[in-house]
Each structure stands twice: as structure tokens, then as C-alpha cells.
Structure 1
Amino acid sequence: MKNCLMILFVAILGSVNISNAQTSDSLTIRKIYDMSLLNGKSYAWLDHLSNEIGGRLSGSYNAQRAVEYTKAQLEELGLDKVWLQPVMVPKWTRGEREFAYVQTGPGETRNVNITALGGSIATPDGGTKAEVIEVQGLEQLKEYGKENIKGKIVFFNRPMRADHISTFDAYGGCVDQRYSGAEEAAKYGAAGVIVRSLNLRLDDLPHTGSMSYVDTPADKRIPAAAISTNDAEYLSGMLKIKKDLKLYFKLNCEVFPDVKSYNVIGEITGSENPDKIMVIGGHLDSWDLGDGSHDDGAGVVQSMEVLRLFKEIGYKPKNTLRVVLFMNEENGLRGGNKYAEVARTKGENHFFALESDAGGFTPRGFGITATNAQFDKILSWKPLFEPYLIHYFKRGGGGADISPLKDGNIVLAGLIPDSQRYFDHHHAANDTFDAVNKRELELGAATMASLVYLVDKYGLDNINKGKKQLKD
């Protein structure tokens, strides 16, 4: 009987301890959200980054200004350490504004909206003018063959699928046209490439993005541009009526030798485990058409805000918290690769990394790459997030810049905001500060900080250690 009473007492005591811990965590998370929403800095930081500095293409003057600004802001927070990590990055410039028109007959032309893809070569001085062949993807090039493609402009017109609830799945279904279109079309003797903008809505804004020639010889490379979705619809429709129409386009891009830039890094040293590192980050560079507010100014300022929030509420992390503002995610991933390379060289122990690179929209949850046990532990914290309408925890996730850290043990996580409007702005001229909602941005920062707090307090690295991690 005594043994039964003792077991019951221990069970009750354990239940009380769990309840107390949950109450304590709930109160801390409430403080985090209150501080972000009532006294946040993320929106003001983004205002300066977007409106005072602007687009931050790797290797540009604005990218360097962004490095200097964010370093200064991190220093003002009173972190234990702030430094710049050198990294060589590509330098590509757009040059004068692009121009294009469709010619359906002698003297019959209509201007269309295009933008050079990042990394493209320029057209000849007089531009490129040729007949157009429309395809729905890379695989269709084989169907037409060199005899039908040589000397023509290949028009890749596979749209993002609207039936994907996750717009990132829709994006992933056709981004190969943009990235590899010029490389593949050049093999068939094409004169150039035009790619339908990766955008779910119909508008007049062409969306840029990275492309690659891979090993294509310099003298075989062809110019590549994106065309707005409205004009892609027009061009496709006209080709059904007049197959011999011609497209003219002029690009003024230029590629320069690599230049030195920097990752911006700041940290709070762990009070108990200074050698165990948690990374929170976003990428500082952006494309040049807008000011990069959603991609990825939002992620940058949210990551900075995580460390500021902990300072403000007086939370002293057990582990070292490191904010990393990566350079050159958009057209090279040099910053992410350099950070991981230095970490490996130094033998640093990273056990958790969180990235925000999906826009500053309303946060919904997290994508997490971890073992089953680690994921289940994170999932057990879900009730703490539900008051803030954070409910979506899925296996698989992280981000491009933290992906080079993946080693089979580190847990990678990515903030998942509502994605339905993201590709309206992604890589386009309307990726601007006015498209970011202050409250949504601040909710995202608080959500990130809350997960970091729980991982720091309870840990993850000792669960099923050594077991194979789930793949993305």
C-alpha cells in the first residue's frame, strides 16, 4: 500500500512540476510577444534598410551600406560580440533598363515588359530579334530538336500551378525553366531565352531571379530574360495566330570579377554551454528591382529582433545565440557556404539553426528537419503557440543559407509565413516596404524568438543522437 501511495505522490508531483513549467514558459512567451508588438524594432530597422538603402544586390554599394548599417545596429544592442566575416561574392549589374517588343507584321509592334535574369549576358549591341518557339518546359526542347530551335528565341511558358496550396511547391515546379533554360536552349542553337515570370497572378511586373550557364562556353552563351505574366499570355496567344511573329529584346547586363563582401554576425554567449551554438538568420542581399523588403529584409530584421527581445526581457540563454545575416543568397549562396566552411574549420558545435526567408507575412508555423524524436519534442510545445494562432509544424524545412550546416545531427528550421501573396512580390519591382504589414512582421519575430527560447531551455541535441536525420 505504501508503495502505491508513493507512486501516486511522485506522479502528482511530476504533474505539478510539468504544469509549473508550462505556466512559466507561457508567461515568458507572452513577454516575448508583448515586447515585439508593443516595443518592437524590426519595422523601424526594415524601414531604414528598404527606404534609406534600397535594393542590395551582391557586390553593390548598397549591399556594403547594408553591411555597415546592420553591424552598427547589432553593436547598439550590447551583444557580447559582433563581427564581419569576409566572403567573396559575384558582381553582376543590370545596366540600362531592358526593352522588348513583339512584331506581328511590318510596322506592327507592341512593347512588352521584361527584365534580365540575374547572371545573364547582354544581348548584342543592336539587341536580339528572332522568331519565337514556345515550350512548356526543359524536356520539350528535345521534342522540337535543333532543326526547329536554332536561331530562334525559346519562350518557356510553363506557369506556376494554382492548385498547389503551398505556393512554394508551385514555384518549385517551374523554377528550373528560369535557372537552366538558357543553358539547355543554347545546346539547340537558340538565339536567346524568354521565361514566364514566376508569379501566380496576372500583372505587368516581370520577376527576375538567378540563372546559370553551368559549363556552357562563353561564346555559346545566350541572353535570358523574364517576361511579365500578362505579356506571356499575350505572346502565347499571338503565337497561336501568327507563328512567324518576331520578338526583339535588348539587355545591357555586365559580369565583373568577384568582390569582397561580408556576413554580419552577432552573438550572445551562452551562460551554461558557450560552445553549443544556435543560429538565427536571413540573407542581407536582395535583387535590385525593388528594395527587398520581403526577400529578405524581413528575415534579416526578424533575426536581429530575436536577440534584442531576449536582451529586453532579461532572458539569459544557456547556449550561445548567434544571429547571422548572410550575403549572396540570391545568386550564389556564397555567404551560407562560407559560414559553414568556417564553422567546420573551427570545429564549432551547431545544434540548431532557424532561418526566415519566406517573407514578412503572418506567421503560421515552422518547417523542421530533425529526427522523429526531436520533431516530436518540438511538436509537444505546440499548445504554447496556439494562443498566437501558430499551428503548422511540418517535417522538412530550414532555408538555403543554413542548409550547408546540415551534418546529420543539427536541427534545421524555417519560419513558415502565409505564402499566398509572397510570389506577387518575389524578385519584382513591388517587393517594397509598403507591402510589409508592421504587425505581421512583429508577430513573425516573436514566433521565432519563442521557438528559440524553448529549444535553448530544453535542448534537442541529446535526443536519438546519432540516428539518421529525416530528409527534407
Structure 2
Amino acid sequence: MKNSYRVKNKLTLLIVITFSYLGFAQITDQEQIKKIYDTALSQGKGYDWLNYLSNQIGGRLSGSIQAQQAIDYTKAQLDSLGVDEVWLQPVMVPKWVRGTPEFAYFETTPGVTTNVAICALGGSVATPQQGIKAGIIEVDGIEQLTVLGKDKIEGKIVFFNKPMDPTLINTFSSYSNCVDQRYAGALEASKFGALGVIVRSMNLRLDDFPHTGSMSYGDQLVNERIPAAAISTNAADLLSTSLKLNPEIKFYFKQNCKQFDDVQSFNVIAEIKGTSKPDEIIVFGGHLDSWDLGDGAHDDGAGCVQSMEVLNLFKKTGYKPKRTVRVVLFMNEENGLRGGNKYAEVAASQNEKHIFALESDSGGFTPRGFSFDSTDKDFEKIKGWKSLFEPYLVHYFEKGSGGADIGPLKNEDIVLAGLRPDSQRYFDHHHSENDTFDQVNKRELELGAASMASLIYLVDKYGF
């Protein structure tokens, strides 16, 4: 009887101690995360870093002088944080230059013209020096080319006018559903004898900003390639309406872009070594390159400075990670993904063990949560942290993709994740002239950095 009483007391004590420990761990996590958010909102450096990247350097197209200036600047800032190591990782990148500003109009009757806003798509060839003037035919996506056939397309300019679907709340899904016309429209239209292509900008808003973006000719011979340009959404609607009234409209456009040989560039990398598990690596970052229109503040200057801020927040809050935490500012996401591929290649050659990778490449808007590319078992563990983010309204956790630059790291042992800000305004700015610093809200940017640091803290503490 006495032994039974003792056993019962010991069990009760064990249960009390266990629940006390769990409660203490939870409180400790809450306190550390609050410290991270408080520090980000009161002592963050990211907004100032972004100001310099945007307003002193500007658009950072791969292979450009501005891209190299951004490399030098971010490396210097990371050096100033007093982390364990900062280095540059060489990578060869494509060099494409836009040239003098593009010009376009449509002609309803001889001598009666209306100018429209266009910009060359990244990687496009130039028009002939005198430009191209021809009849224009509107299509609602690549698949319609086959329906129309060569007889109706040959010798004309193809106008791809499939809009982003406004009914999809996830604007990235809307983007994915129609971006093929931008990426492969010129290649496909050339097979039917088209002289060039004009593509509706990937933008949910009606405005006068044409949005560039990468396009590809695949392995097509250079002399078979046709020029491709984006047209603003307002101009696309005007052109479409005008074509309905007069199908004989002529379209003229001129662009002077050029592709050069590859040049050397760099990924910018910095890390804090883990105290007890330094061989396990947690990597996070964004892409340092941008398009040459605007200054790349949202895409992806914001993601870069948020990622740099994670190291700053760990230093300022005194958190010493158990695992190695590493920031990578990838080069050439926009028109080649060379930086992401090079990083993964080097990591594999050095047998590095990456357990987690997080990317911020969806703009500097209010953070809502994260998407995770993981096993069901790991996702269940991650969902257990969701309540810690509820006080900050950053508790949208879903299975999904991580990010383009970290994608090459994917294997069965790593969890990939992406920061998910509110995306409703993202495509208003994406790849366009109005992706500028003044469109970024300081507080929203800082909340995103704090959210990333908090998730990385939890992964570092508990692992998978």
C-alpha cells in the first residue's frame, strides 16, 4: 500500500514537472519571438539598406554595373554585423541589355496613330533598325495559335491578350495561369511565321506600366528568333477594343535590346556558425538581381534585406544558434537562376547538410505566414508552432512551394519554405517601372524580417 502511494506520488510529480517544463519552453519561445519582433520594429536596419539599394544603386540586372555595386554594398553591410564569415561565391550569369527606350503605336488609318506603352521582354532580340510594322492578330493564349494556323498568323504580329484571372485570391496562381504566353509566346508564334509578339503585362491592375520578365527561345537558331515586348494593361485593352472595330489595324514597334556573352558575378553569403550542430545548415535569402525597370524594391530588394536582417536580429537579441545559419543573396534569379543552381552545386560538392531553406521573394508587404515543401510528418511539427505567430497575425501555414532560388537544394532531407506576404498588390509592381522604394512600407518590411527570424529560431531550436 505504501509502495503504491509512493509510485502514485512519483507519477504525479513527474506529470507536474513535465507540464511545467513544457509550459516553460513555450514561454521561452514566446519571449524570444517577442524580443525578435520588438527589435525588428525598433532597431531594424533593413529599411535603410533597401533605401540605399533602391535609391543609390537602382535596378540590378544580372551582369550590370549596378548588380556589382549591390554585391559590394551588401557584402560590406554583412561584414559590419560581426558575423563569423562573409564571402562571395563566383557564378557566370547572362548579360542582356535593353538599350534605348522602346517605341510603339498602332495605326487605325494611314497617318492616324496612337502611341502605346511597351517594354522589351528580358532576353528578347531587337527589332530591325527601322522597327517592325505589320498587321496584328489577337489571341487568348498560346493554344489558340494552333487553332488559327499559319495562314492567319504568317507575316503578322501576334498580340497575346490573356489576362490574369481576377477571381483567384492567390494572385500567384493567377500569374502562373497565363505567364506561359510571356515566357514562350515568341518561340511558339515564330513557328507559324509571326514577325513579332506583343504580350499583355502580367498585372491585375489597369495602368500604363508595361511589365517586363524573362522569355525564352529554347534552342531556336538566332536568325529564327522574333522580338517580343510587353504592353501595359490599359494599352492592351485599348488595342483589343480597336481591333474589334477595325481588324485591319497596323502595329509598329521598335526595340534595341542585345544579348552579350556571359559575365562573372557573385552570390553574397554570410553565416553565424552553430554552437553545437555547426554541420547542420539553415539557409535563407532572396535574389539580389532585379529587372532594370524601377529599382527592384519589392522584387527582390525587400527579400534580400529581410534575410540580412535575420542575422542582425540574432546578434542584437543575443541569440546563439545551435546550427549554422546562413544568408545567401542569390544572383540571376530573374533571367537564368544561375545563382541558385551554383549554390546548390557547390553545397553538393562539399557534402553540406542543409536541413531547412527559406526564401523571401514575394514582396515586402504585410506577412501572412509561410508555405512549406515538406513531408507530412515535418509539416505536422511545423503546425505546432503556428500559435506562436498568432499574436503577430502571421499564422497562415500551408503546404506549398519554397522559392525559385532554393528549389535546386530540394532533396528528401530538407524542408523548403517561402515567406508569404499579402499578395494583392504585388503584381501592380512586379517587373515594372513602379517597383520603387516609395512603394515599400517600413513597418510591413520589418514584420516580414521578424517573421523569418522567428521561424528560423524555431527550426534551429527544435530541428526536424
Same fold (TM over 0.5): yes
Query: What is the CA-CA distance between 1:8 and the residue it aligns to?
Result: 3.1
Give the counterpart letter for 1:58 in structure 2. Answer: S
Shift in Å at residue 387 of structure 1? Answer: 0.5
* C-alpha deviation, 1:13, in angstroms: 1.6
Tell me, yes or no, if structure 1 residue 133 matches structure 2 residue 137: yes
Counterpart among 437, 441, 462 of residue 445 in structure 2: 441
Instruction: Write the letter of the residue equivalent to 1:295.
Output: D
Q: How far apart in 2 are the matches of 1:210 and 1:374?
A: 34
Question: Which residue number in structure 2 is paired with residue 465 of structure 1?
Answer: none
DSSP 3-state at the match of 1:164 = coil
Partner of 2:198: 194
TM-aligned CA deviation for residue 217 of structure 1: 1.2
Encode CA deviations 1:339-374: one digit per residue, 9 max, x unaligned: 000000011000100000000000000000111111
**SS of residue in 2 equivalent to 1:412:** strand
1-side partners of 2:11 and 2:181: how far apart? Answer: 64
Match for residue 52 of structure 2 among 43, 48, 54:
48
Pairing 1:278–2:292 present? no
Q: 370, 373, 393: which is aligned to 1:369? A: 373
Q: Residue 258 of structure 1 aligns with which residue?
A: 262
Q: Which residue of 1 aligns with 2:407?
A: 403
Matches within 5 A, 1:287-366: 287-366=291-370
The 1-side partners of 2:374 and 2:14 are apart by: 32
Does 2:65 match 1:61? yes
Q: Does 1:385 align with 2:405?
A: no
Q: Percent identity?
A: 66
Aligned to 1:469: none
Query: Amino acid of the residue matched to residue 328 of structure 1?
Result: N
> How big is the shift at 1:11?
2.2
Distance in 2 (CA, whole Å) between partners of 1:8 and 1:366 is: 39
Letter in 2 for 1:128: I
Match of 2:181 in 1: 177
TM-score, length basis structure 1: 0.97
Cα deviations by residue, 1:283-314 (Å, 9 ceiling, x for unpaired): 00000110000000000000000001001111
CA distance in 2, matches of 1:10, 1:206: 66
CA contact (8 A) 1:101 1:248 kept: yes
Is the 1:281–1:324 contact (alpha carbons within 8 Å) kept by the matching residues of 2?
A: yes
Counterpart CA distance in 1 for 2:158 and 2:17 is 71
Amino acid at match of 1:276: E
Q: Is the 8 A contact 1:276 1:350 kept in 2?
A: yes
Instruction: Structure 2: state its 5+ residue gaps.
Output: none
* Structure-2 separation of matches of 1:216 and 1:126: 24
Name the residue aligned to 2:110. Answer: 106
Alpha-carbon distance in 2 for matches of 1:12, 1:209: 59
State the alpha-carbon separation in 2 of the partners of residues 359 and 192 from structure 1: 32
Q: Distance in 1 between the 2:401 and 2:365 partners? A: 18
Partner of residue 225, structure 1: 229
Partner Cα separation in structure 2 for residue 414 and residue 6 of structure 1: 45
Query: How many Å apart are 1:4 and its aligned residue?
Result: 4.0
Give the aligned partner of residue 25 of structure 1: 29
2:170 aligned residue (158, 163, 166):
166
| 1:249 paired to 2:253 | yes
TM-score w.r.t. structure 2 length?
Answer: 0.98
Q: 2:43 aligns with which of 39, 46, 54?
A: 39
Structure 1 counterpart SS, 2:298 = helix
Offset at residue 9 of structure 1 (A)? 2.7
1:456 alignment partner in structure 2: 460
CA distance in 2, matches of 1:256, 1:7: 74
AA in 1 matched with 2:433: A
1:213 counterpart residue number = 217
- Is the contact made by 1:275 and 1:348 (CA closer than 8 Å) also made in structure 2? yes
Q: CA deviation at 1:6?
A: 3.3
- Partner Cα separation in structure 2 for residue 25 and residue 7 of structure 1: 27
In 1, the alpha carbon distance for the partners of 2:114 and 2:437 equals 32
Q: Secondary structure at the match of 2:457?
A: helix
Tell me the matched-pair count. Answer: 460
State the distance in 1 between where 2:389 and 2:15 align. Answer: 26
- Residues 421-442 of structure 1: CA distance to partner in whole angstroms, max 9, x if unpaired? 0000000000000000000000
Equivalent position SS for 1:183: helix
Structure 1: distance between partners of 2:383 and 2:302: 25
Q: Is the 8 A contact 1:366 1:397 kept in 2?
A: no
SS state of the match for residue 76, structure 2?
Answer: helix
- Residues 420-435 of structure 1: matches in 2 within 5 Å? 420-435=424-439
**Which amino acid counterpart does residue 376 of structure 2 have in structure 1?**
N
- Residue 163 of structure 1: CA displacement? 0.4
**Residue 383 (structure 1) shift:** 1.0
Task: Describe the superposition over 1:209-246 as per-residue Cα deviations: whole angstroms up to 9, x where unpaired.
Answer: 00000011111100000000000001110111111101
